[in-house]
Amino acid sequence: MAGPLASLKVVEFSGLGPAPLAGQLLADLGAEVITVDRKAAVADPTDINRRGKKSVVLDLKTEAGLAAARRLIAASDVLIEGFRPGVMERLGMGPETCPERLIYARMTGWGQNGPLAQTAGHDINYLALTGALHAMGDADRAPVPPLNLVADYGGGTMFLLLGILSAVIERSVSGKGQVVDAAMVDGVPAMMGLIHAMLAQGAWSETRGTNWLDGGAPFYRCYTCACGGYISVGALEPQFHALLLEKANLPAEHSKTQNDAAHWPERRALYERAFAQRSRDEWADIFAGSDACVAPVLTFSEAQFHPHMKARETFIAPNGVLQAAPAPRFSRSKAGEPAQPGAIGGETDTVLEGLGYSVAERRSITG
């Protein structure tokens, strides 16, 4: 497969969540990604995080399996693992046993050290500890988790990838690899520069649902339409806000006091009544092509059919399984459509042969 990362060889120890997505995104951009799996299984076209990857099944409870894993690691540029701290060391495959040029990428929620490093957790827990979760949802109810997009994939996967590719660049200077400690509790706060700035400036309240970006502002929230669907409104800038008022037939004088929070409760109620007069798609037509920053709230199944998404071919559906096309896009190093998920362990024999194992040796490892 072509792509800007076609020269990169990655070994991924299979797991759940942000690490497999990181491997998938690297594979999408052309990297050779080989997952080390525990047990063979048939191909599952819905296992999207496996697309574009190869798979080798090794028994890491045996010395032969561990030896094969070490040989695979030695032939790789990057190792990705998402176990609790110490697991890889107990297997004899910690960073200190690996080649000096290897980039050893570790993905966890709590990080490699700290009081909670050995504690189980999930996206909602990591998000909670950063302060971000407290700001999400309506003021009169408990915070609402934003799926698992923010901690797992925003603060996790994306920072793991940033660490890997930064280490690849640094290795081109030093000739040495290093450990990347990607922790979701580090990544989420790193995305909160704007919020931290507004807190420091006294422009953000810790009372949920009273702020510019948390649904408190009448011009930055979602409204229920006559059909029961929803419309999203994000008219932050004055010129965009003026367009919102004009097209929704709302009072033009609201522009003068747009950011006066004292007016927001009554205006939210007024805007709710206004948007409830038409269906979602009627509002979408009214605002189509304008700079009012208004868009229909689509379901997962609807999104693929939106004219803009179709024009950009943002979604693909191989074997009828809806999923995102590779992103981002490049002017020269085009990745193309990724290979779909194969059988777990489907490349075991080929991978071991590439590592120099004879037929007899391969049989002793795989049984």
The catalytic site residues sit at 122, 152
Q: Which residue bears the tokens 């004879």?
A: 358
Ranges of beta strands (E only) in the chain are 9-13, 32-37, 54-57, 78-81, 103-108, 179-183, 220-224, 230-234, 294-296, 315-316, 323-324
Q: What residues have CB less than 8 Å from 12, skipping those under 6 apart? A: 19, 20, 22, 23, 33, 34, 35, 36, 53, 79, 80, 81
Cβ-in-10-Å burial (0-12, 13-18, 19+) of 126 comes to: buried
> Beta strand pairing status for 220-224 and 9-13?
unpaired
Check if the beta carbon of residue 207 is closer than 8 Å to that of residue 139. yes
In this structure, the number of other CB atoms found within 10 A of the CB of residue 340 comes to: 18
In this structure, the number of other CB atoms found within 10 A of the CB of residue 327 comes to: 11
Length of the chain: 367
Given its phi and psi angles, is residue 131 left (phi above 0), alpha (psi -120 to 50 degrees) or beta? left
d(CA 308, CA 311): 5
Q: Which residue bears the tokens 């080649």?
A: 99
82 is written with which tokens? Answer: 């998402």
**What's at 58, amino acid-wise?**
L
> What is the chain's alpha carbon radius of gyration, rounded to the nearest angstrom?
25
